[in-house]
Amino acid sequence: MMEMHHTPLTKSMISQDLWTLVESEPDRFKQEVKSYFARTYPGFVVVRAKYPLIYLRDQRVNNV
């Protein structure tokens, strides 16, 4: 059975420089975005990227 996530997603943004990678280097874009949020929002996981927003899930709640 699929695990349901009831935690609301957090919205954030990234620089236009990172967004330029989404078309030209999608794998690098994903890695850079994950790396950025691992440093700036510890405990949050990137769920979705849809210009101009990045959607994050707070995984810290699950570790309480």
This prediction's pTM: 0.81
Query: Is the residue at 3 inside a domain?
Result: no
Q: Which domain holds residue 40?
A: 10-63
Query: Is the residue at 24 inside a domain?
Result: yes
In whole angstroms, give the CA distance from residue 23 to residue 14.
Answer: 15
pLDDT, residue 50, reads 97
Query: Is the residue at 5 inside a domain?
Result: no
Q: How confident is the model at residue 4 (pLDDT cuts 50, 70, 90)?
A: low
Where does residue 24 fall: left (phi above 0), alpha (psi -120 to 50 degrees), or beta otherwise? alpha
Q: How confident is the model at residue 9 (pLDDT cuts 50, 70, 90)?
A: very high
Query: Is the residue at 14 inside a domain?
Result: yes
Domains of the chain: total: 1
Mean pLDDT, range 11-25, rounded to an integer: 97
Tens-place pLDDT, residues 20-54: 999 999 999 999 999 999 999 999 999 999 999 99
Query: Is the residue at 43 inside a domain?
Result: yes
Query: Is the residue at 2 inside a domain?
Result: no
Query: Is the residue at 21 inside a domain?
Result: yes
